[in-house]
Structure 1
Amino acid sequence: MKCYNFCIPTIFISYVINIFVILLTTFNSSIPNYVEPVGYTKMPPFSKRVILISIDGLAIHILQTSEQNRISFLMRMAETKGVMGIVKAEAPTETRPRHVALLSGFNEDLFNIWGFWKRNLHPFESILHNAQFSWAYGDPVAIKPFLVEATDRRSSSMKLEYYPEISHNSMYADDFVLKKFKTFIETDLNKFIEADEVTQDGRRGKLLFLHLCSVDDAGHHGGYNAPLYDQIVLNANVIIEQIYELYRKKVSEEDLVSTTFIVTADHGTKPEGGHGGSTDDEIFVPFFAWGAGIANIPNSNHAFSLLAQQNSVSTLVASLLSTLIPSYSQGSLPIHLLNASDQIKSNLLRSNILHLMKLNEALIHKANRHSIISSFTSIGPQANFDDRVEDLKSLMKRERVLLNSLFHSKWMLWSRASFLWTISAALTSFAIVVDLMGYRTSKIAPNYTTIFRICTLLIALIELFRVIDCCRDKLLNFLDYTTEPNFREICVLPFMCLITDFILGGYVSSGRLMISKMLEHFKMSKYQILSFVLLFLQSYLIIAAFHRPEFHAAAGVIVSINLIFNPFRNTEWKFARIFSLVLTILYSLWMLILHSQPIETNPNLLGHQIILGFILLSLWILFNAVTYSIKIDRIMLHEWFLLEFQNLLLHVLIIHTHLFGLNIYDRSVLSALSQYVVRHFNGSNTPMLINIPVLVVVLTYIFITYKRNQKQRKQTLKAQALIWLILMPLAFIYGFTHIGEVKSWYRIGTDTAYFIYLSVAPIFCASILTVLSDFAEYNQRPK
């Protein structure tokens, strides 16, 4: 038996390197190491002190008329003295990242995946650090990210305390905060209300942050419709009223009117309980503000409009205190919440715009250090920016442009490297196809060419070990955020190794020969051209259905229409095939209608998906029976390829319908399956049981394809391998373009696993099929 004719060491190693490099580049920190501080220090402060309260897990439904009595104090204060409305958070809606956004102004850094999302690995500034003195009490998850080392000069001006990480009842957390506030009134109130000291670093104002966690605890036990949740919300409202009244009685009227109160939440709660995703119940949270510097907006309790993004709250607090903006803040300044003239608002906007410009410059500088093409330019000159006279509308527009540019600046390095990854995947696929089809030249290469190829292979191996070691270091030594890999080198070097081996290995001339031979007698009918287009569209739908389950039904419609007009119809199984095709089309269209409706109205959607899987399975069996009976002397190579393409995609559609259409790897589905298995079987067998259908279909596919290969002698196995290799770049490109979207931590994990699956599965399947093909050829030789 001949050895693997498509083992191409250098090209394959470069492909593996690219997989690791994509993970390193995607999950690189988007936070620059240094941003020049900018603040509102040229303006007199609106407020001398701010009391910021976060009610963890407070759902937006609390603003409904029937629920407002549970937050009567907050409603009364905001309605008569300030403003109330809605603030929008971003996913993941978890306590740590949302409080980082609330107090520091930026959303989750993907770099934290190397620390398994347990903490912020890159040091950062928050409004707690930029106030002249700050206090914070609450849950350790919310408070710990803002702690500083004892050697930090800011440690003497910060007092951050959290309760022990032990099990407790739902009232304990809020009672702890209330007790700490009472102690604060006795020991630190004088420091809180005294005049600011003159400092060299520009820090101003006093900030007290209180984190009430009991509402979130209650939300995890039954959701916001549970009686316990309503009770805890009512208790939180009472505690905030006690805090306000205790403070009001202890300070003078002058100190009270120079204090700002802000009450909001880090995230919401789903009706059934829990959080972490991006549903409206999770990302929209209430916002109440009153006191010094806050505009009194009449009737805001009726409209409940979107007041700001959550990452703008730290910018708002900085403007109220006229202190430094947190260095990595990416929030806009909600000037409509400020009780100030247009001139003052314009000056504040200029300061925030200047900060955003400096942050953008820092991101561009970071990208330039590592990018393969250092051609990024800044948004515009910063010189004399403070002296420009612009109206509010123009300034707000400029701020929006800068905020949009921040997103692109964070992904500059990734986007510039992505075209190298795309080309690498295409060349890898093409080179393996040349070897698989047997078109690579058999001429003996000159000695110097062999030496160059060996050197290229060694360089690729060294780079592979370096990249793997870099990933290992990120996992083991993730605290050292400054040890960034040289992204320019790890992107360009494997690409150059691939190009070198591609040219020296003779793949250019061999590929040209292969294409010319294949096109020599290549005449396609209109149906076949349309069929190829539909097959590639179906390929995309099958791959993309991981994120859009309705695409399984759409792919079912396309494959059925394609098979109806199959030119290789025969009388065998005629009525069964027609019935199966029509049934598949009708049921797939019905599934598309069901997917277009809210999932709450379709509790039986999972059952319909199972039925669709069985219908597709019957269609695949019938199609294999038809293909098995085709006379090989009546079919051209491209026609045979078309049939195998249809067969393969139908098979993959069945597997993906089971794996992803049924969503069997979702945590809730796995939990339900595990409970069922524990009741009826051994609980440890859950993974095996849910994958039995996949294993059966895969083994059946390999067996039937192998049998057809033995009968028809048309290289069925190699044809299937060729299709896998042609689909490989499409799968690879789709995979790496969909990781890194922070919908939830679980979503990032599944998207990363899917990327690895799409990168490895096609080449693995092609390898297995090629080995089986070689084995079949060996057995068919005359003895």
Structure 2
Amino acid sequence: MLLLAFFILGLVVHVVFFISIFDIYFTSPLVHGMTPQHVPLPAPAKRLVLFVADGLKADTLFKTDDTKIDKAPFIRSIMEESGSWGVSHTRVPTESRPGHVALIAGFYEDVSAVAKGWKENPVEFDSVFNESRHTWCWGSPDILPMFAKGASGDHVYTHTYSAEMEDFASTDASKLDTWVFDEVKAFFSSAKANDTLLSQLREERNVFFLHLLGIDTNGHAHRPMSREYAENIEIVDAGVAEIVSVMEDFFENDKGTSYIFTSDHGMTNWGSHGAGHPSETLTPLVAWGAGIRTAERTTTQHFNDHYLQEWRLEYLRRIDVNQGVLPLGYLDNSGLFKAESMYANSIQIMEQFKVKMAQKKETTLSILFTPYQ
């Protein structure tokens, strides 16, 4: 009888532990219903252009070879003259979906969403695209739809190539990126003869998102040390330069555009990612344009790594970022604007806490609910 009791007790304990795994890891921690917070000052930019070079390692982009030849001369010139740069520290899993959610929605993807579906948006979340007036996206059918599906209203427009183009056995996947660049150029060219679209583009709070998958695909197929990977970086660099020129010409050099060039994750030397190796978690971040501080020369920098020497960038101020921390170092604005930004960010976090506490109170017996002091 005693043995049976121990068996039943052990079974109950195991069942509780088993269920707790799903309750902890497969239930979304996201909350909804917060009051949106805004900075009560004019925005430093009218529009944002976001370039995401999927699978681009920080080390590969920033490091020059023995002849000091840059793989990305345009991006390097931005770092040295008109923009700010650094390393964005990502988290595992270093995959495309959670990486883009972190970039665009501002939080690390929870397991419940990853487990329910990769291409879709099974867990509703807010994003920069959702808060924009209009967002135009070009790129992979694996990434773009989940942000369009989760957007409120009908203001996120996606332009994707066919899934068949994503061929990991391809001899050269840079065509994925040239497709994006060509489509964006054609879009702005056609907009000049479309009064409705032209009016939308002239509005503020617009976002343009270019998802560039070629580097990631070439990295998987040929490895990051390959000629294909390096040449794809050169193609992306030239494409970014051309798009910037098109944008500046279209908006008549109104100095109202902010540009961000970054990556969702890196890659190991053998062409894989998903884990926490520095080659996968360290991604490049280069920003320039409206509201972004320009390059700053320096003689002293304190980082617990050796990358500055390897990249020959000791003389340029490096600004690293972590998700969830307001990157004030990149902003070229008044102290008041930065203070208001920090305040709005703090109040927004408080709003999440208040909603979460209300939910907890509703699902907990009153005698067991004790709020924080």
Residue of 347, 350, 353 corresponding to 1:357: 350
In 2 relative to 1, CA 229–350 (structure 1 residues): closer, same or farther, beyond 3 Å?
Answer: same
Aligned to 1:105: 106
* Bigger shift: residues 297-306 or 270-279: 297-306
User: Is 1:278–2:276 an aligned residue pair?
Assistant: yes
Q: Contact 2:53–2:261 (CA<8 Å) still a contact in 1?
A: yes
d(CA) in 1 for partners of 2:210, 2:114: 28
What CA distance in whole angstroms lies between the structure 2 residues aligned with 1:215 and 1:100? 19
- Secondary structure of the residue aligned to 1:161 is strand
Match of 1:294 in 2: 292
1:230-256 alpha-carbon deviations (Å, 9 max, x no partner): 1111111111112112223333122xx
What is the distance in 1 between the residues matched to 2:200 and 2:341? 25
The Cα of 1:306 is off from its aligned counterpart by 4.3
Q: Which amino acid aligns with 2:32?
A: N
1:146 positional shift: 0.4
Contact 2:266 2:282 in 1 (8 A): yes
- Quote the Cα distance in structure 2 between the aligned partners of 1:68 and 1:193: 37
Residue equivalent to 2:261: 263
- Find the counterpart in structure 2 of residue 228 from structure 1: 228
> Residue deviations 1:678-733, cap 9 Å, x none?
xxxxxxxxxxxxxxxxxxxxxxxxxxxxxxxxxxxxxxxxxxxxxxxxxxxxxxxx
**Partners of 2:86 and 2:285 within 8 A in 1:** yes
Say which of 340, 359, 362 aligns to 1:366: 359
Structure 2 Cα separation of the partners of residues 375 and 21 of structure 1: 25
1:53 corresponds to which of 51, 54, 69: 51
Matched with 2:82 is 81
Q: 2 CA distance for matches of 1:164 and 1:296?
A: 39
Q: Displacement of 1:13 after TM fit?
A: 4.0
For residue 180 of structure 2, the aligned residue among 177, 187, 192 is 177
With over 3 angstroms needed to count, the CA separation of the structure-2 counterparts of 1:114 and 1:292, relative to structure 1, is closer
Amino acid at match of 1:308: V
Query: Structure 2 CA distance, aligned partners of 1:86 and 1:227?
Result: 24
| Max Rg structure | 1
Contact 1:86 1:304 survives alignment (8 Å)? no
Against the structure 1 CA distance between its residues 188 and 207, is the aligned structure 2 distance closer, same or farther, given a 3 Å change threshold? farther
Task: Name which of 194, 200, 218 aligns with 2:202.
Answer: 194
Give the C-alpha shift of residue 5 in structure 1.
Answer: 6.2
Matched, 1:7 2:4: yes
1:501 aligns with none
Shift of 1:276: 0.6
Instruction: Give the match for residue 93 of structure 2.
Output: 92
Aligned to 2:138: 137
2:372 is matched with which residue?
377
Task: Specify the SS of the correspondent of 1:58.
Answer: coil
1:334 is aligned with what amino acid?
A: P
Q: Any idea what the Cα deviations from partners look like across 1:59-90, whole Å, max 9, x if unmatched?
A: 11121232761111011123211111111111
What is the match of residue 35 of structure 1?
34
- Cα distance 1:68–1:304, how it changes in 2: closer, same or farther (>3 A)? farther
Q: Does structure 1 conserve the Cα–Cα contact (< 8 Å) formed by 2:328 and 2:338?
A: yes
Query: Which residue matches 1:26?
Result: 24
8 Å CA contact retained: 1:268, 1:281? yes
2:62 is matched with 63
SS for the counterpart of 2:41 is coil
Is the 2:48–2:259 Cα contact (8 Å) retained in structure 1? Answer: yes
Q: Which amino acid aligns with 2:113?
A: N
Q: Which whole-Å CA distance do the structure 2 matches of 1:49 and 1:263 have between them? A: 15
- Aligned counterparts of 1:207 and 1:134: Cα–Cα separation in 2: 5
- For the Cα contact (< 8 Å) 1:49–1:207, is it kept in 2? yes
Match of 1:307 in 2: 320
In structure 1, distance between residues paired with 2:152 and 2:55: 33
Structure 1 counterpart of 2:128, one-letter code:
I
The one-letter amino acid of 2:4's match is C
Residue identity opposite 1:291 in structure 2: G
Contact 2:85 2:319 in 1 (8 A): no
Structure 1 range deviating more: 139-148 or 245-254: 245-254
Give the alignment of 1:568-717 within 5 angstroms.
none
Residues of 1 paired with 2:326 and 2:249: CA distance? 32
Report the CA distance shift for 1:18/1:365 in structure 2 as closer, same or farther (over 3 A). Answer: same
Deviation at 1:362, TM superposition (A): 2.3
Q: Structure 1 residues 68 and 294 mapped into 2: Cα distance closer, same or farther (>3 Å)? A: farther
Q: Any idea what SS the aligned residue of 2:234 has?
A: helix
Distance 2:317 2:86 in 1: 4
The whole-number CA distance in structure 2 between the counterparts of 1:183 and 1:20 is: 54
Conserved 8 A contact 1:270-1:282? yes
Q: Residue 79 of structure 1 aligns to which amino acid in structure 2? A: E
Residues 1:113 and 1:366: Cα distance change in structure 2 (over 3 Å)? farther
- Residues 170-201 of structure 1: CA deviation (Å, up to 9, x unaligned): 022112211220232024462454244xxxxx
3-state DSSP of counterpart to 2:136: strand
Q: 1:123 to 1:68 in 2, by over 3 A?
A: farther
Residue from 159, 162, 174 that aligns with 2:160: 162
Query: Which runs of structure 2 are paired with 1:467-478 in the superposition (5 Å)?
Result: none
More strand by share: 2
- Counterpart Cα distance in 2 of 1:231 and 1:94: 23
- What is the deviation of 1:366? 3.2
TM-score, normalised to structure 2, is 0.84
- TM-superposed deviation, 1:293: 0.4
Equivalent residues, number: 341
Take 1:365 and 1:159, find their aligned partners in 2: how far apart are those partners? 35
Displacement of 1:116: 5.8
Evaluate the alpha carbon distance shift between residue 281 and residue 376 of structure 1 in structure 2; reply closer, same or farther with a 3 A threshold.
farther
Does residue 1:219 correspond to 2:232, yes or no? Answer: no
Q: State TM-score, norm by structure 1.
A: 0.41
| TM-aligned CA deviation for residue 367 of structure 1 | 3.5
State the distance in 2 between where 1:350 and 1:339 align: 18
Q: Is the 8 A contact 1:30 1:111 kept in 2?
A: no
In the TM superposition, what are the counterparts of 1:419-430 in structure 2 within 5 Å? none
Tell me which amino acid in the other structure corresponds to 1:177: V
Following superposition, the deviation at residue 218 of structure 1 comes to 1.1
SS of the equivalent of 1:241 reads: helix
Quote the Cα distance in structure 2 between the aligned partners of 1:344 and 1:98.
Answer: 28
Instruction: Mark the runs of 5 or more structure 1 residues left unpaired by the alignment.
Output: 197-204, 312-330, 379-783
For residues 14 and 213 of structure 2, what CA distance do their matches in structure 1 show? 45
Letter in 2 for 1:34: G
Q: Which is bigger in relative contact order (C-alpha 8 A, separation at least 6)?
A: 2
Cα gap change, 1:148/1:191 in structure 2, threshold over 3 Å: closer, same or farther? Answer: farther
- RMSD between superposed Cα atoms in Å: 2.3
Say if 1:10 and 1:371 are closer, same or farther in 2 by CA, change over 3 A.
farther
Partner amino acid for 1:75?
Answer: R
Distance 2:23 2:250 in 1: 54
Deviation at 1:118, TM superposition (A): 5.6
* Mapped partners of 1:18, 1:213: distance in 2: 43
Conservation of the 8 A alpha-carbon contact between 1:59 and 1:268: yes
For residues 344 and 332 of structure 1, what CA distance do their matches in structure 2 show? 16
In 1, Cα distance between equivalents of 2:338 and 2:220:
41
- Contact 2:64–2:71 (CA<8 Å) still a contact in 1? no
Please report how far the alpha carbon of residue 16 of structure 1 lies from its aligned counterpart in structure 2 after TM superposition: 3.5
SS of residue matched to 2:266: coil
Determine the structure 1 residue equivalent to 2:310: none
Shift of 1:345: 1.0
**Secondary structure, aligned partner of 2:149:** coil
Instruction: Evaluate the alpha carbon distance shift between residue 357 and residue 153 of structure 1 in structure 2; reply closer, same or farther with a 3 A threshold.
Output: closer
1:119, 1:153 → 2: CA distance? 15
| Counterpart for residue 237 of structure 1 | 237
Decide whether the 8 Å contact of 1:112 with 1:118 is kept in 2. no
- 1:206-242 per-position Cα deviation (integer Å, ceiling 9, x unaligned): 1101011100011112432112111111111111112
In structure 2, what residue type is equivalent to 1:35? M
Preserved CA contact (<8 Å) 2:119 2:145: no
> Aligned residue for 2:307?
none
Q: Aligned letter for 2:84? A: V
SS in 2 for 1:134: strand
Q: Against the structure 1 CA distance between its residues 172 and 97, is the aligned structure 2 distance closer, same or farther, given a 3 Å change threshold?
A: same
Shift of 1:283: 0.8
**Higher share of residues assigned helix:** 1
